[in-house]
Structure 1
C-alpha cells in the first residue's frame, strides 16, 4: 500500500498541474488546491516508510508521464520523440521501483 500511496499522490499531482493551466472558476481553483494538499499529504506520509530518493523519482516520473498523457488527451501535440521519451521515463521509474530494497520491517502497514 505504501507504493499505492505514491501512485495516488502522482494522480493528484497530475490533477493540480492541469488545474494550474485550466482552472478559471473558484470551484476549479478549489479543486486544484485540494489536489495539491492531497498529493503532498500522501507524499509526506510515504516518505516515512520508503527510501526518499527512489520515492521522489518514482513520484515525479509518474506525475510527469501522467501530465504529458493528459495533455495529449486534451489536445497538446503528439510526437514520436515525445512518446519514445515517455516510454524511457516510465522504464526508469519502473526500474527504480523494482530495484529499491526495503529494509526489514518496512513491508508492514
Structure 2
C-alpha cells in the first residue's frame, strides 16, 4: 500500500477518535486533546492530497470517520444496534473501497500509454 493511502486511513481513524471526543469531552484537557487529534488528522490528510485526488481522499476520509464513529458508538457507548444501520455502513464502505480501487496517484493517468 502506498504511503499516501496509509495517511488517508490513519487520518480517518484519528477522525473517529476526535469525533467521539467531541461528544464526551468535559474539561480543558480533553478539549486540548481533541484539538491535537484534529490537527494531526488534517496534517495527514493534506499530505495525502499532494499526490492523490482531493475529492477521493476527502470521501474516503469522511467515510472511514462516519462508519468508524457509528460502529464505535454501537460497540462501546450503547448506541442502539440496527441491521439497517449496518447495511448502510456496509454500503458506505463499499463506496469507499470502490473509490480506492479506481483512483490512481498523480503522474499515473488511466489509459496512458
TM-score past 0.5 threshold: yes
Q: For residue 94 of structure 1, what is the aligned residue in structure 2?
A: 97
Q: Which runs of 4+ in 1 moved over 2 A?
A: 101-105
Alignment of 1:1-109 (within 5 A): 1-73=3-75, 74-104=77-107
Q: Any gaps of 5 or more consecutive residues in structure 1? A: none
The answer for unaligned runs of 5 or more in structure 2 is 109-113
Two-structure CA RMSD over aligned residues (Å): 1.5
TM-score by length of 1: 0.91
Q: Report the alpha carbon displacement of residue 77 of structure 1 after superposing the two structures with TM.
A: 0.7
Aligned pair count reads: 106
TM (norm. structure 2) is: 0.88
